[in-house]
Amino acid sequence: MADATILIVDDEPANLAILVKLLQPAYRVLAANSGERALHIAASDPQPDLILLDVMMSGMDGYEVLARLKGNPATRDIPVIFVTTMSATEDEEQGLELGAVDYITKPLRAAIVLARVRTHLALKRASDWLKDQNAFLEAEVARRMADNQLIQDVSIHALAHLAETRDPETGNHIRRTQSYVAVLAQRLRTHPRFSSHLDEHSIQLLTKSAPLHDIGKVGIPDHILLKPGKLTPEEWEIMKTHAKMGSDSIEKAERDSDQPVEFLSLAKEIAHWHHEKWDGSGYPDGLTSDAIPLSARLMALADVFDALVSSRVYKAALPFGQARDIIIEGRGMHFDPDVVDAFLANFDEFVAIARRYSDEEGKNR
C-alpha cells in the first residue's frame, strides 16, 4: 500500500521527526503536534489510512483524541495505533477499549514500527475492499429487486388490461379504482377498526392487487359482457360468475408459484368478494359486514363509484354529486359505514382522480 497516507500525532518535535524520517520513504506522511490539529487533518481530504497517535500529550491527550475520532462518522473507521512510553496493562486495555487497533511502546524500534504499520494498512485495505463489495452487492440486490418489481407490476397491468380488452369502454378504470383504493386505505390506516390491518406495506400490496379485481371477465361470453341493454336473469347469473372465475384463476397462479406471493392472496380476495354487500345481499357468497375481507370492501366502493361516474354503452356518466349521494344511500347496506365515511372525507380527491384519468378529454362534471 505504497500510496497510503499516515498521520503522525505527537507534541514532541523530536518524536515527530523520527517517525517522519522512518515512514516517509514508503508512505505519504502527515504530521500534527496537537490533538486539535490531528482531528482537523483526520477529517480533511485526503484522509489518512492510518494514524499513529501519542498518548501523553499536553492539552488534549491521546485518549480524548481517539474518543473524538471514534465519535465522528467521518473518522471513526480510520485505524489508530497508540504510541506511548507507558507499558502498564491497564493503559493498553484502556486504549484498546476506546478503539485503538494496536500499541507501540517507546523507545521506537524501526522494524517493529514498519511491521505494525504494514499489517494494519493491509487490514485497512481488506476492510475497505469488503465495504466496497458489500456496497456493490447491496446496490445490485436493490437493482434486481426494482427490476423484479417492475416486471411484476407490468405483468399485473398486462393481465388487467387483458380483461379490459373484452370490455373496451372501461378505459382507465384500472388506474382510477387502484387510486381510489389507495386513498381509502391511507385514510383508514389510523382508524381503530383498521389500524392493525393497514400499514404502509399492506397498503402497497392492496394497491398492487386492485387491478386484478375483474380478471374473471375474460371468461364471460361477449354477447353478455358487451350487451348494450339490460341483462336477462339468466345472463346476469352468468355475469356474476366472473368473481369466482377471477379468484380461481389467481389461485391457480398461486399454486404454480415456487413460493408464496403476498399480493396474490389479496388479489384473490378482491376478485372473489368485491361484489359482496355489507348487508349480505351481494354475490357470490352473500357475506355480511366484517366477514367480507377489508380489501374487497374497499374495492366495492371504488368500483361502484367509478361505474357511476363513467359512461357506458347502456348509460351516461352521472355527475359526481349524484354519485356521492348514491354512495351515501348505500352506507350500512351496500358499503361498510366507515369506508363510506373515508370516501366522504376524501371526496374531492376521488373527483380529482376521476378527472385525471378520465376516458374523455376535457370531461368536467
Q: Please report, for the chain, the start and end positions of each structural domain, with discontinuous segments joined by +.
A: 5-136, 166-356
User: Please, which pLDDT band fits residue 199 given cuts at 50, 70 and 90?
Assistant: very high
Fold (CATH) for 5-136: Rossmann fold (3.40.50)
Of the options 1.10.3210.10, 1.10.443.10, 3.30.300.30, 3.40.30.10, the CATH number for the domain spanning 166-356: 1.10.3210.10
- Can you tell me the distance from the alpha carbon of 86 to that of 35, in angstroms, rounded to the nearest whole number? 18
Which spans in the chain are helix H?
A: 13-23, 35-42, 62-71, 89-98, 110-165, 173-188, 200-209, 222-225, 233-256, 262-273, 294-309, 320-329, 337-345, 347-356
CB atoms within 10 A of CB 350: 25
75 and 42 Cβ atoms separated by less than 8 Å: yes
pLDDT in tens, 60-105: 999 999 999 999 999 999 999 998 876 655 666 777 888 899 988 8
Q: Which of 50, 64, 51 is CA-nearest to residue 95? A: 64
Query: How close are the terminal C-alpha atoms of the chain, in Å?
Result: 72
pLDDT in tens, 229-276: 889 999 999 999 999 999 998 888 778 777 777 778 888 999 999 999
Same fold? 5-136, 166-356: no
- Can you tell me the distance from the alpha carbon of 17 to that of 91, in angstroms, rounded to the nearest whole number? 25
pLDDT in tens, 23-67: 998 999 999 999 999 999 999 988 999 999 998 888 899 999 999
- Can you tell me the distance from the alpha carbon of 275 to that of 216, in angstroms, rounded to the nearest whole number? 13
What 3-state DSSP class applies to 325? helix
Better pLDDT: 337 or 129: 337
- The pLDDT score that the predictor gives to residue 290 is 96
User: Please, which pLDDT band fits residue 177 given cuts at 50, 70 and 90?
Assistant: very high
User: Please, which pLDDT band fits residue 348 given cuts at 50, 70 and 90?
Assistant: very high
Parallel, antiparallel, or unpaired for β 102-105 and 80-84?
A: parallel
The H or E element that residue 219 is part of is none
Better pLDDT: 74 or 363: 74
Q: How many CA atoms lie less than 13 Å away from 223 in the CB half-sphere?
A: 3
- The pLDDT score that the predictor gives to residue 365 is 46
Q: In what order do the strands lie in the sheet with 50-54?
A: 28-32, 5-9, 50-54, 80-84, 102-105
